[in-house]
Chain A
Amino acid sequence: MAAPLPDVTLLGALPPLPSLVNARRLRAQRLGRGLRLWVPAGILILMLAMCFVLPLVASLPSPTKGDIIVNNEPPFSPGHWLGTDMQGVDIFSKLVYGGQVAFEIGAAVTAIGVAIGGTLGIVAGYFGGWVDAVISRVLDILIAFPALVLALVIAQGLGGSEIHVIWALSVFGIPAVGRVTRGATLTIRGLPFMVAAKLSGTRGWRIIARHVVPNIIPTIVTFSLLGVGIVIILEGALDFLGYGIPPPTASWGNMISNGQQILSAQPEYVLIPSIALLVTVASLNMLGDALRERWSTQ
Chain B
Amino acid sequence: MTDALLQVDDLRVTFAVGGREVRAVDGITFTVSPGATLAIIGESGSGKTVSCRAIMGLLPTGTAIGGSARLRGTELLGLSDAELRRHRGSDLAMVFQDPARSLNPTMRVGLQITEAITTHRTASKREAQAQAIELLRLVRIPAAERRFHEYPHQLSGGMRQRVMIAMALACRPKLLIADEATTALDVTTQAQIMELLLELQEELDMALIMISHDLGLAASYADEVIVMYAGKIVEQAPAAGLFGAGGAVRMRYTRALLDAIPHLERPAHTLLPVVGGRPPDPTALPPGCSFAPRCQYAEDDCRAKVPALAEHVPGHRWACWHPCENGAAPHD
- Direct touching of A and B (C-beta under 8 Å): yes
Residues of A within 8 A of B (CB): 1-2, 4-17, 19-23, 25-27
Contacting residue for A8 out of B19, B77, B96, CB 8 A: B77
Once the chains bind, are A8 and B65 in contact (CB under 8 Å)? Answer: yes
> Is A14 a contact of B10 with CB atoms below 8 Å?
no
B residues 58-72 near A (Cβ < 8 Å) are 58-68
Tell me if B12 is interfacial: C-beta within 8 Å of chain A.
yes
Contact status A23-B67, CB under 8 Å: no
- A23's contact among B16, B53, B63, B79, by CB below 8 Å, is which? B16
B330 contacts chain A at the CB level, 8 A cutoff = no
In the bound complex, residues from chain B placing their C-beta under 8 Å from that of A16 are 60
A224 to B57, CA, bound (A): 44
The answer to whether B17 touches A7, judged by C-beta atoms less than 8 angstroms apart, is: no
**Complex: A189 Cα to B84 Cα, angstroms:** 46
Cβ–Cβ contact A4 & B16, under 8 A: no
Task: Tell me if B59 and A15 are in contact (CB < 8 A).
Answer: no
User: Which residue of chain A has its CB nearest to the CB of B67?
Assistant: A4
Chain A CB within 8 A of B134 CB: no
Q: How many residues of B contact A (CB 8 A)?
A: 36
Say yes or no: B102 contacts A10, CB within 8 Å.
Answer: no
Q: Complex Cα distance A8/B54, Å?
A: 11
Instruction: Please name all residues of chain B whose beta carbon is closer than 8 Å to the beta carbon of A21 when the two chains form the complex.
Output: 15-17, 60, 62
Nearest-neighbour CB distance to chain A for B73, whole angstroms, equals 13
Instruction: Enumerate chain B residues within 8 angstroms of A27, measured Cβ to Cβ.
Output: 19
Q: How many Å lie between the Cα of A17 and that of B80 in the bound state?
A: 20
Which B residues form the contact surface with A (CB < 8 A)?
9-10, 12, 15-19, 22, 27, 29, 49-50, 53-54, 57-68, 75, 77-81, 84, 96, 102
Residue pair B67, A5 in contact (C-beta under 8 Å): yes
Q: Are B54 and A26 within 8 A (Cβ)?
A: no
Assess whether B16 is in contact with A10, with CB atoms less than 8 Å apart. no
A-B residue pairs, 5 tightest by C-beta: A8-B78, A20-B15, A2-B9, A23-B16, A13-B60
Shortest CB-to-CB span from B331 to chain A, Å, is: 34
Residue among B10, B49, B61, B79 with the highest chain A CB neighbour number at 10 A: B61
A13 to B63, CA, bound (A): 11
Q: Chain B contacts of A6 at CB under 8 A?
A: 66
Q: How far is the CA of A8 from the CA of B80 in the complex (A)?
A: 11
What chain A residues lie within 8 Å of B60 (beta carbons)? 13, 16-17, 19-21
A11 and B67 contact, CB distance less than 8 A: no
Residues of A within 8 A of B18 (CB): 26
A-B CB contact pairs (8 Å), 29 listed: A1-B10, A4-B12, A5-B75, A6-B66, A7-B65, A9-B62, A9-B64, A10-B57, A10-B77, A10-B78, A10-B79, A11-B57, A11-B61, A11-B80, A12-B58, A12-B61, A13-B59, A15-B102, A16-B60, A17-B49, A19-B60, A20-B15, A20-B16, A20-B60, A20-B62, A22-B64, A23-B16, A26-B16, A27-B19
